[in-house]
Amino acid sequence: MQRSEVNPIPHPVEIVEVAARDGLQSDPTMLSTDQKVELIARAARAGLHRIEAVSFVNPKRVPQMADAEAVMAALRCDAALESLGASYIGLVLNRRGLDRAFATGVDEINAVVVCTDTFARRNQGRSSQELIDETAGICADARDAGLPVSVTVAASFGCPYEGEVPVERLRAVLEGVLAAGPDEVALADSIGVATPSDVRERVALADDLRAGTSTTLRCHFHNTRNTGIANAAAAVEAGVAVLDSSLGGIGGCPFAPNATGNIPTEDLVYMLERMGYATGIDLHALVEVVPWLEATVAHPVPGYLSKAGIFPDSARGAES
């Protein structure tokens, strides 16, 4: 396997905003449907055009996501919001969830395959291979419905139960996932254990395996051990053009011990823009969302940019 080389020319990077789903699924504050819609609307108005808005999972296991149908109905009834053209992603774990997603009119489907058997059984009640088999059907049915489908490979860098995930284990799982022909595959550091060298190695593996296909590569990093932003930088330098993040850095996996903290969208956009990677996102608008988000979830969020401020502050500089 060849290692990914650092890309010397910055390329556009697409951000997938996950605060409304991954951000809220383990938050202690139960937001109302209207509050979730407002969060999504604020993200869309700031220029985030792919938003993971809802999750069609068992409401008894993840009560924060129980109103998925109501959220999507409210989004579709807002003409001003519809005019922004955001693509709403629905997370599904099985055929039942897929049927619910179809009924609400989501724009994209995101399925999940966990890279280790222990975590897979804790998270979804089946082995990794069983999840791969289920995902093949989800991909086929989504294609038949005309919807793009992505597959997130959770625990691609480490498992809370089995520890280190060998590269060859990731290779086997990725081969199974890619055989289903998803439009996009995501490497997820679900518990925030990766380092930039891990990212370069596993991005190179994914690039080798998807060569000759039309499947794009996305990365999803958690900042649990304060390496998430560094890992995002390593990913884009290795050529990755799609990253997940969450406004304020809220979120985490409710089925992985201590797996707190997505990378904050506003911090990520600041870093990428300073590095020369265009995102098409209004950074000032993103920062302005954070105080509202903190008030809404009733606790501080881990993002730094809203506290430290944008540098240089172009608006302030124009006045001086």
Q: Does 8 reside within a domain?
A: no
Per-residue pLDDT, averaged over 61-68, amounts to 94
CATH number for 262: 3.20.20.70
pLDDT bin (cut points 50, 70, 90) of residue 7 is: low
User: Residue 9: pLDDT band by 50, 70, 90 thresholds?
Assistant: confident
Does residue 96 fall inside a structural domain? yes
Across the chain, what does the average pLDDT equal?
93
Q: Is 253 a catalytic residue?
A: yes
Residue 9 within a domain: no
Residue 130 domain flag:
yes
pLDDT band at residue 261 using 50, 70 and 90 as cut-offs: confident
Please give the model's pTM, rounded to 2 decimal places.
Answer: 0.94
> How many domains are there within the chain?
1
| Within a domain: 3 | no
Q: For residue 4, is it within any domain? A: no
SS (H, E, C) the chain: CCCCCCCCCCCCCEEEECHHHHHCCCCCCCCCHHHHHHHHHHHHHCCCCEEEEEEECCCCCCHHHCCHHHHHHHHHHCHHHHCCCCEEEEEECCHHHHHHHHHHCCCEEEEEEECCHHHHHHHHCCCHHHHHHHHHHHHHHHHHCCCCEEEEEECCCEECCCEECCHHHHHHHHHHHHCCCCCEEEEEECCCCCCHHHHHHHHHHHHHHHCCCCCEEEEEEECCCCCHHHHHHHHHHCCCCEEEEEHHHCCECCCCCCCECECEHHHHHHHHHHHCCCCCCCHHHHHHHHHHHHHHHCCCCCCCHHHHCCCCCHHHHHHC
pLDDT digits (tens, 9 = 90+) for 100-154: 999 999 999 999 999 999 999 998 999 999 999 999 999 999 999 999 999 999 9
- Quote the pLDDT of residue 313: 77
- Out of 115, 139, 219, 253, pick the active-site residue: 253
The string of pLDDT tens digits covering residues 268-279 is 999 999 999 999
pLDDT average, residue stretch 162-181: 98
User: Containing domain of residue 118, as a range?
Assistant: 14-319
pLDDT tens, 291-305? 999 999 999 999 999
- Identify whether 75 is part of a domain: yes
- Is 200 within a domain? yes
pLDDT at site 83: 94
Q: What is the pLDDT of residues 37-60, one digit of tens each?
A: 999 999 999 999 999 999 999 999
